[in-house]
Amino acid sequence: MTFTQKDTSHTFIPQLWATRRVGWLLDEMRLHGESAEVKDEVTRLARQFGIVTPYTAYLIMEDEHQRHVPLAAQNMRELSADVPTAARTNDMYKSVDREAKDERSRNGAGAVDNAENLAQLRNGENLEQAAQMGQQFQFAARPDQSAGFALAKAPSPSTQPGGYRVAANYAQQARVIKGRAFYQNGDTWTDSTWQTNTSIKTRDIKFGTDEYFDLVKYHPEANEWFALGEDLDIVLDGALYQVRHID
């Protein structure tokens, strides 16, 4: 199929296609090993279509660090700063690559989980079903605030080993609206397209001011993007508008 860039009437179709494509590519990597071409395609699709799982999150963070993307423009900067949890995404991704190198590892419990998770991505028939693989992973924190990582299908947070309690689910911090992906870090939603040109001119806008409402009025096509919140980094007409709420 050919997906028209300007057609936003059925945006779930390319997003569902990309999700299934990522699942298929990761499964190919699990069976046959990592290649630069496959890795790059998974990273590109995951970022563009907001596909956040422990496998793809690692690739997005690694790519941003390798390209020296400025911190403010990084999509996964909150997860990247969560060092123990970021390390677990590394482990999850690397386990896929290890399976291709060690035939025996495919029989282990971790390999079975990988196969089931990637099959769920690969065979999703709608966005909710396809998103379940990402949603079943809960990123949690211990009472002492040191981060950890646990599966939602494990016992409830209050009874998990080590006293884990759910702090955040990074899989929920990505939204694709009218074909554009936004990532949440703290209170701020960041337009993923900013990374393609971080040298564009920047304008600071205070939320709720006349200047803000003039901007919204001038860009009615962006209403759903502005609705994300009071703190928003959004690219419009070749400029980055950094909307911030007034304290």
What pLDDT, on a 0 to 100 scale, did the predictor assign at position 186?
Answer: 86
Confidence of residue 154 (pLDDT cuts 50, 70, 90): very low
Between 198 and 2, the more confident residue is: 198
Structure tokens at 73: 């423009």
So what's the pLDDT on residue 132? 54
pLDDT given at position 170: 76
Listed range (81-95, 138-152, 182-196) with the worst mean pLDDT: 138-152
